[in-house]
Amino acid sequence: MNSLLNEQQLIERIFSHIDNKTTDLGDTVWQEPVASYLSEERFESEIALLRRKPVAFCPSAMLLENGSYVARKAAGTPLLVVRGEDGEVRAFINGCRHRGMPVASDSGCARSFVCPYHAWTYGLDGQLRHIPGHSGFPGVELQNNGLVEVGALEKGGLVYVNQSGPIDPSMLENTPDFFTGGQQFFDQSEYNDEANWKLLAETTMEGYHIKSLHKQSFYPYGLDNITVVENFGSNSRVIFPFRRIDKLRDVEPQSRRLDGMVTSVYQLFPNVTISVLSKHSTMTVFEPLSPSLTQMLIYRVTNNTSDGSSIDVEEAKRDAVFVKAAGFDEDREAACGIQGTLGTNANSHLTFGYFEKAIVHFHKNLAEHLAIQ
């Protein structure tokens, strides 16, 4: 991404902020009506947006082998993403063409998909292969009743899905490459929180709250309200430095590396974040279930070291435990607490200032995309 700072530029920007007690600032104060977090009509508009845009669905590392698949709901639609016998990734609506029963669940590896209701069988390419008692369904031809396909495309270690049609590669030209073939998928988590999806996503986009909300968890290791924030396309990158980055001052500039010195959080518009941490990276999907209920899906992969070798899985697991302890649950609790006040007369709107540049960028883009539906 030519628009993003490189590693050396980031380090210099961070040192400048530390030395001058500054941070990257926006230039706009944004007021978002509380109705945006409560309205059923707004919720339906956001679901429609998620269905018509390419949205990251899962890491490619979850689909290493032909036949490997991930089945889950995205924007309320049951989807099945599978790597075919030809190595290509495809996405389908996860509903049997007989009576609509999902033909797969969770994730795994299969040679075919057999509907658990009546055993109609589909190939990895979605084609209907077998109907038990086919003679009882005159006029129902195998070639015309495959699973309904939707758009899918792999880029930079992620699988993107577009429920409204094929994905042109130009649609993803503003998205960096995140993961490589050497990184291993090792864990996933799901959380259902009583908060609007935007409230949960907003917790990942600013460092203004670190000292106050994470005083005993993340703040002992991180810096309060010192971030580098870059917007690119509809997306943003927020860099959160660790205190230990000061060790790089004694290293020759051309030899400095950010590995383990920062957390980089990419907000992939609309509802996905990629967080590159010390030993592992996470892909978090904020799936809206209702105006006040969100399912958070978190997929974890190992990081590579600066020499290209993969971090040991056990090291990555220990890193994941640390990250959860260092403020993750506090962010979720904050979002749920805010949701509880929105139906009162406490605020007519939520205010985002200069320290919350990435959130302002997010809401501007969301408003623009919803306006053209």
Q: What CATH number corresponds to the domain at position 309?
A: 3.90.380.10
Count CB-CB contacts under 10 A for residue 358.
26
Q: Are residues 201 and 350 in the same domain?
A: yes
CA-closest candidate to residue 95, choices 116, 111, 67: 116
In a domain, 1, yes or no: no
Q: Per the structure block, which two tokens stand in for 32?
A: 């978002």
Both 336 and 199 in a single domain? yes
Residues 245 and 363 in one domain: yes
Peptide bond preceding 132 in cis form (omega within 30 of 0): no
Is the same domain home to 161 and 216?
Answer: no
Q: CA angle at residue 8 from 6 to 13, to 5 degrees?
A: 90
Whether 172 is covered by a domain: the verdict is no
- Name every residue whose Cβ is closer than 8 Å to that of residue 277 and which is 6 or more positions away in sequence: 263, 303, 319, 323
* Residue type (1 letter), 307: D
pLDDT at position 3, please? 83
> d(Cα 89, Cα 68) in Å, to the nearest integer?
10
One domain for residues 42 and 119: no
How far is the C-alpha of 299 from the C-alpha of 282, rounded, in Å? 5
One domain, residues 345 and 203:
yes
Q: Over the stretch 244-260, which tens digit does the pLDDT of each residue have?
A: 999 999 999 999 999 89
Whether residue 129 is found in the same domain as residue 33? no
Inter-residue contact 59 to 65 (CB < 8 Å): no
pLDDT reported for residue 342: 97
Provide the whole-model pTM: 0.95
Domain encompassing residue 273:
7-52+177-371
* Assigned token pair, 248: 């790089």
Domain final position from 166, 191, 224: 166
> Do 269 and 293 fall into the same domain?
yes
| Contact between residue 67 and residue 111 where contact means Cβ atoms under 8 Å apart | yes
Residues 256 and 357 in one domain: yes
Total count of domains within the chain: 2
SS3 labels along the chain: CCCCCCHHHHHHHHHHHHHHCCCCCCCCCEEEEHHHHCCHHHHHHHHHHHHHCCEEEEEHHHHCCCCEEEEEEECCEEEEEEECCCCCEEEEECCCCCCCCCCCCEEEECCCEECCCCCCEECCCCCEEECCCHHHCCCCCHHHCCCCEEEEEEECCEEEEECCCCCCHHHHCCCCCCCCCCCCEEEEEEEEECCCHHHHHHCCCCCCCHHHHCCCCCCCCECCCCCEEEEECCEEEEEEEEHHHHHHHHCCHHHCCCCCCEEEEEEECCCEEEEECCCEEEEEEEEEEECCEEEEEEEEEECECCCCCECCHHHHHHHHHHHHHHHHHHHHHHHHHHHHHHCCCCCCEEEECHHHHHHHHHHHHHHHHHHCC
Q: What pLDDT shows up at residue 355?
A: 98
Q: Per the domain annotation, does 28 fall within a domain?
A: yes
pLDDT of residue 326: 82
pLDDT in the model for residue 69: 98
Domain end: 125, 140, 166, which one?
Answer: 166
341 and 282 share one domain: yes
Within-domain flag for 92: yes
The C-alpha atoms of residue 91 and residue 242 are separated, in whole angstroms, by: 39
Domain boundary among 147, 166, 185: 166
Residue with tokens 């790597």: 83
For residues 201 and 70, state if they share a domain: no
Q: Are residues 201 and 252 in the same domain?
A: yes
Q: Say if 102 falls within a structural domain.
A: yes
Spans of the chain, pLDDT less than 50: 1
Give the pLDDT confidence of 94-119 residue by residue, as tens digits: 999 999 999 999 999 999 999 999 99
**CATH code of residue 159:** 2.102.10.10
In a domain, 260, yes or no: yes
22, part of any domain: yes
Q: With respect to residue 2, please indicate whether it lies within any of the assigned structural domains.
A: no
